[in-house]
Structure 1
Amino acid sequence: MERSFYQFALAYRGGSKDDDHAVFAEAMFNDLAFPKNEKEFDPLSRYLEEKADPHMRSVIFDELYALYKERF
């Protein structure tokens, strides 16, 4: 079974506050409306653009999504 982006990114939680991936993952975890089952780039990107949370920056999402696609 392929994991969703949310499930993948949760692995970065708990890191240093200086780690952009950890900050993104923590903010994503605390966002109850985050699309937890989504696997595709466009819906996730659209959600983040509309949300405009400073802790979930699109450049960090792009990095994490590239890692996600490499592994899954």
Structure 2
Amino acid sequence: MKDASFYHFLLTVRGRPNEEGTFAEMVYQDLDFPKQESDFDTLSDYIETEGNYTLSMSVFDALFEEYQEWLRF
């Protein structure tokens, strides 16, 4: 099992030619993003209130599910 933050997972998603890749790039550009965080609620609250994200929260939800799977291997 991996011990990596959601941000570290997103670095593997950057460059995808879809909404997930766009979201990962937005996070990468956000200097205030909580880079060591892995908690869904904390990350969700940040994205909804602090970040300047223009994509649907469903993109974050899908990526967080993928992150949880990624941690298993």
The question of a shared fold, defined as TM-score above 0.5 by the shorter chain, is answered with: yes
Cα offset for 1:52? 4.5
RMSD between aligned alpha carbons? 1.3
Give the structure, 1 or 2, with the largest relative contact order (CA under 8 Å, sep 6 or more): 2
TM-score computed with the length of structure 2 as normaliser? 0.86
- My pick for the range that moved more, 45-54 or 22-31, is 45-54
Query: How many aligned residue pairs are there?
Result: 69
Q: Provide the identity percentage.
A: 39
**Residue correspondence of structure 1 range 7-18 to structure 2 within 5 A:** 7-16=8-17
Cα offset for 1:58? 1.3
* Runs of 4+ residues deviating >4 angstroms: none
TM-score computed with the length of structure 1 as normaliser? 0.87
**Residue correspondence of structure 1 range 11-50 to structure 2 within 5 A:** 11-16=12-17, 19-50=18-49
* Unpaired runs of at least 5, structure 2: none
Cα offset for 1:9? 1.0
**Residue correspondence of structure 1 range 48-67 to structure 2 within 5 A:** 48-50=47-49, 51-55=51-55, 57-67=56-66
1:9-62 deviation per Cα after TM superposition (whole angstroms, max 9, x unaligned): 11111222xx0110000000000000000011000000001024104x311110
